Amino acid sequence: MAAVCRMLRLAAARYPCRPGVFRQFSAGPSFQYILVERKGQSQNVGFIQLNRPKALNALCDGLMTEINRALDSFEADPQIGAIVITGSEKAFAAGADIKEMQNRTFQECYGGSFLAHWNRVSTVRKPVIAAVNGYALGGGCELAMMCDIIYAGEKAQFGQPEILLGTIPGAGGTQRLTRAVGKSLAMEMVLTGDRINAQEAKEAGLVSRVYPVDKVVDEAITCGEKIAQNSKLIVSMAKEAVNGAFELSLSEGNRLEKRLFHSTFATDDRKEGMTAFVEKRKTNFNDH
Ligand code: CAA
C-alpha cells in the first residue's frame, strides 16, 4: 500500500499541471482523462466529465478506456440510478483523436478492431444522459448519440465532419444519426461535414431539450435524480423496451414490451408502486 501511495505521489509530481490526473473515485480506479463523481442530493447520479480541455476532449484511446471503467463502476454500484456524461463549455468532445489516428494502417485498424470498445455507453443498463455544450463532432456526436437522452446547451454544435478528413463515421454515426434525424439531414451532415446547432438538433429530434449553457449540466443531473427515484429494476426494463424500437420490427418490439410488462408483475416494486397509489402514499421502491 505504501508503495502504491509513493507511486501516486511521484506520478502527481510528474504531471503537476494536468487537472484530473490521478483523481480518485471513492476507493476505486483513478483517472487521467476524466473526472468521476457522484451527484444529486442522494448522491445517486454517476457523473463523468471529459477532461482533456487542451485537445477539446478529443477521444483518445485512454479516455475511452477510462469512460468504460467508470461506467463499469457505476453499473455495479447499487446506489447509482442514472449516469450523466458531459464535457466542457467549449467542447463536449471534438471527435476521435485525429493525432492518434493519423498514422494508423488498415491492417492495424482491422486487425485490432479499432473502435470496437467504444460502444460500452450503449450497453449500460442504467440510463445515461449526455449534457452537451460546445462541439459534439465526429466521435463526440457519436458518444452523445450512444446515450439515452441528450440535453444541449444553447451554443452546442453537432456534426459528423469525418468526410472532411477523408474518412467516415466509425462509432455508429451513420446509423444512430439517421435513426434520430432521418435520412435527408443525416446524409447532408455526413456527406458535407456541415454542423447543426442546438435548436436545429432539437427540431430534428436529436436532442430532447435545450438549456442555457450554464444550466444544462444541472438540468441533466436533475433529470438523472428524477429517474433514480424510480425502481432501478423497472427503469432498466423500460430502457430495454424503448431500445427494442431501434432493433426490432413493430410486432417483435411489441412482443418484447409485453413480456417485459408482464415481468414487472414478478417484482416487489410493481406491487409497491400500485399499492402506494391505492393507499395514497409515496412509493418506497427497493429495486427488487
Ligand atoms: N483530435 C485531436 N486533436 C484535436 C481534435 C481532434 N479531433 N480536435 C481539436 N483538437 C486539438 C487541436 O489540434 C488543437 O490542438 P493544438 O493546440 O495542439 O494545435 C486544440 O485541440 C484546439 O483545437 P483548434 O485550435 O482547432 O480549436 P478551434 O476552436 O480553432 O476549432 C474545432 C475547434 C472546429 C472543433 C476544430 O478543432 C476541429 O475541427 N476539430 C476536429 C473535428 C473533427 O474532425 N472531428 C472528427 C474526428 S474523426 C472521428 O471522430 C472518427 C469517428 O467516427 C470515431
Using alpha carbons, select from 122, 127, 51, 128 the residue that is nearest to residue 92: 51
Q: Which of 70, 96, 186, 228 is catalytic?
A: 96
* Closest C-alpha residue for ligand 1 atom 42: 94
Q: Which architecture, in CATH terms, is 2-228?
A: Alpha-Beta Complex (3.90)
Amino acid sitting at position 210? V
Sorting pLDDT into bands at 50, 70 and 90, what band is 93? very high
Helix (H, G, I), strand (E, B) or coil at 23: strand
CA distance 140 to 87: 10
* Ligand 1 atom showing the smallest separation from residue 96 Cα: 50
Q: Is the CB of 165 under 6 A from ligand 1?
A: yes
Of all residues in the chain, the percent with pLDDT exceeding 90 is 90
Letter string b/e over residues 176-207, b meaning 16 or more CB atoms within 10 A of that residue's CB: bbbebbeeebbeebbeebebbbbeebbebebb
Report, as an integer, the average pLDDT of 81-104: 98
Q: Which of 162, 219, 225, 257 is catalytic?
A: 162
Three-state SS letters, 206-243: CCCEEECCCCHHHHHHHHHHHHHCCCHHHHHHHHHHHH
**All residues at 6 or more sequence positions from 249 whose CB lies less than 8 Å from its CB, including other chains:** none
The correct CATH number of 232-279 out of 3.40.47, 1.10.3470, 3.30.70, 1.10.12 is: 1.10.12
The alpha carbon of residue 217 and the mean position of all alpha carbons in its chain are separated, in whole angstroms, by: 13
Q: Residue 96 catalytic?
A: yes
CA distance 185 to 196: 10
Report whether pLDDT(16) > 50. no
Q: What is the pLDDT of residues 19-62, one digit of tens each?
A: 334 444 544 568 999 999 999 999 999 999 999 999 999 999 99
Report whether pLDDT(7) > 60. no
Using alpha carbons, select from 111, 122, 124 the residue that is nearest to residue 236: 124
Using alpha carbons, select from 92, 171, 182 the residue that is nearest to residue 137: 92
* Ligand 1 atom showing the smallest separation from residue 135 Cα: 35
Q: Is the CB of 55 under 6 A from ligand 1?
A: yes
Q: Residue 3 catalytic?
A: no
Q: Is the CB of 63 under 6 A from ligand 1?
A: no
Distances in whole angstroms, Cα of residue 232 to Cα of each of 21, 127, 258:
32, 9, 19
Ligand 1 centroid–CA 114 distance in Å is: 19
pLDDT at 6: 45
Of all residues in the chain, the percent with pLDDT exceeding 70 is 90
Ligand 1 centroid–CA 171 distance in Å is: 17
Compute how many other C-beta atoms are within 10 angstroms of the C-beta atom of residue 255.
13
The domains of the chain are located at 2-228, 232-279
The alpha carbon of residue 139 and the mean position of all alpha carbons in its chain are separated, in whole angstroms, by: 12
Report whether pLDDT(171) > 90. yes
Q: Which of 142, 219, 225, 257 is catalytic?
A: 142
pLDDT at 86: 98
CA distance 153 to 212: 5
* Closest C-alpha residue for ligand 1 atom 12: 55
Ligand 1 centroid–CA 159 distance in Å is: 12
Report, as an integer, the average pLDDT of 232-256: 98
Q: Residue 136 catalytic?
A: no
Report, as an integer, the average pLDDT of 100-118: 95
161 touches 137 (CB < 8 A): yes
